[in-house]
């Protein structure tokens, strides 16, 4: 076969100025993000918290979590920047170690719930019919039960069954994603319902592609912006839920520190009135991390949403 070259010049490329880059969609988004100062600030705080929690403990001399009766409840000083707790452990180190757990739990449960939610939502929206009915009714059922009481019940069951402390962290992750996938599935399903009617999906059908390929190669990439935004907001929610659970003694158990159970251990009048260094640092960490993640997620939504805002 020969080549047809009648008058098709390069000028047909819409904006011919810049070289075509593979990542141009993402590059555009990155450029937009750089202009969004608030989102950048959020991103900075998130990155800072991650760095603090995962790198910080490496420089701390107090990581062994030994009990020092002589150092009980010391106010912040030069050796212990955020003071020590009732067992003489360095609060700063524990806040950083707790952050590792809290952030890991938040991230892991987000990954799991995004995976579950987008898979089930995509299947429900794409195949409709019985699959849709079954999946969405289960989702509805889970959504009608307020998630906090549900988590409490599950947490109480964990204590009842005497699940080893080491495993509790993983089970808490599972619990958190279990309660958060329905909302996600519903959003993904809605998006898939509209995407599947689009002309390019018809074109994919006409090409004789398999359902699996159409679903995962053609539909899901279109959902990535939505998923990124949901996922980022989800992390904040998961960290918060984990903290609440741990605060009530139903999440990750001491001595493994999490931000929630650190606040819980300062849950008495004397600590509250006279030793603010015990509860302000973990509380502030939760607050700052969740706010920063939410602000960043909102910014991402603006950046990745192609529809113009008023």
Partner 1 sequence: MATADLLEIEGLSTYFDTEEGTVRAVDGVSLRVRPGETVCIVGESGCGKSITAMSIMGLVGTNGTAGRIAGGRIRYEDRDLLRLNKHELRTIRGHEIAMIFQEPMSSLNPVLPIGEQIMEPLIEHLKLSKKAARARAIELIAQVGIARPEQIAKAYPHELSGGMLQRIMIAIAISCGPKLLIADEPTTALDVTIQAQILDMLRQFKAESDMSILLITHDLGVVAEMADYVVVMYAGKVVEEGEVVELFERPKHPYTQGLLKSKPIMGQRQDELYSIPGQVPNPLELKPSCYFYERCEHAMDVCRRAEPTLKGVGEQGSVACWLYEEEAIVHG
Chain contacts with partner 1 (rule: CB under 8 A): 1-10, 12-15, 19-22, 24-25, 127-129, 196, 198-200, 202-210, 213, 217-218, 221-222, 224
First to last CA, the chain: 51
Q: Which is nearer to partner 1, 40 or 209 (CB)?
A: 209
CB 257 within 8 A of CB 98: yes
The pair of structure tokens assigned to 300 is 């991402």
CB 191 within 8 A of CB 226: yes
CB-based burial label for 137 (10 Å; 0-12, 13-18, 19+): exposed
Kindly state the smallest distance separating residue 22's Cβ from partner 1, in Å: 5
Kindly state the smallest distance separating residue 187's Cβ from partner 1, in Å: 18
Kindly state the smallest distance separating residue 25's Cβ from partner 1, in Å: 6
Contacts of 38 (CB under 8 A, 6+ apart): 295, 299
Q: Which is nearer to partner 1, 7 or 149 (CB)?
A: 7
Q: Which is nearer to partner 1, 6 or 149 (CB)?
A: 6
Element (H, E) at 119: helix 91-127
Kindly state the smallest distance separating residue 17's Cβ from partner 1, in Å: 11
CB 80 within 8 A of CB 61: no
Kindly state the smallest distance separating residue 13's Cβ from partner 1, in Å: 6
Q: Which is nearer to partner 1, 10 or 160 (CB)?
A: 10
The pair of structure tokens assigned to 59 is 């420089």
Q: Which is nearer to partner 1, 18 or 162 (CB)?
A: 18
């Amino acid at each position: 076969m020969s080549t047809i070259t009648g008058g098709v010049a390069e000028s047909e490329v819409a904006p011919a100025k810049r070289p075509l880059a593979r990542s141009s969609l993402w590059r555009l988004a990155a450029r937009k993000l750089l202009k969004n100062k608030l989102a950048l600030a959020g991103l900075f705080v998130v990155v800072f918290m991650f760095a603090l929690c995962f790198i910080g403990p490496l420089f701390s001399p107090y990581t062994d979590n030994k009990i020092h009766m002589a150092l009980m409840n010391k106010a912040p000083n030069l050796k212990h920047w955020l003071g020590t707790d009732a067992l003489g452990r360095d609060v700063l180190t524990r806040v950083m170690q707790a952050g590792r757990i809290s952030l890991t739990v938040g991230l892991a449960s987000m990954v799991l719930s995004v995976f579950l939610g987008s898979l089930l939502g995509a299947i429900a929206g794409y195949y409709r019919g019985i699959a849709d009915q079954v999946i969405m009714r289960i989702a509805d059922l889970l959504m009608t039960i307020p998630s906090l009481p549900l988590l409490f019940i599950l947490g109480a069951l964990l204590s009842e069954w005497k699940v080893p402390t080491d495993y509790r962290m993983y089970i808490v992750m599972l619990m958190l994603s279990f309660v958060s996938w329905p909302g996600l599935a519903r959003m993904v399903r809605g998006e898939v319902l509209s995407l599947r009617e689009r002309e390019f999906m018809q074109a994919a059908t006409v090409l004789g592609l398999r359902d699996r390929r159409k679903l995962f190669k053609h539909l899901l990439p279109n959902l990535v912006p939505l998923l990124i935004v949901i996922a980022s907001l989800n992390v904040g929610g998961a960290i918060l839920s984990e903290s609440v659970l741990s605060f009530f003694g139903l999440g990750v158990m001491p001595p493994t520190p999490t931000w929630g159970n650190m606040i819980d251990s300062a849950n008495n009048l004397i600590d509250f009135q006279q030793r603010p260094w015990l509860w302000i640092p973990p509380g502030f960490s939760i607050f700052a991390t969740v706010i920063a993640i939410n602000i960043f997620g909102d910014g991402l939504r603006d950046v990745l949403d192609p529809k113009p805002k008023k």
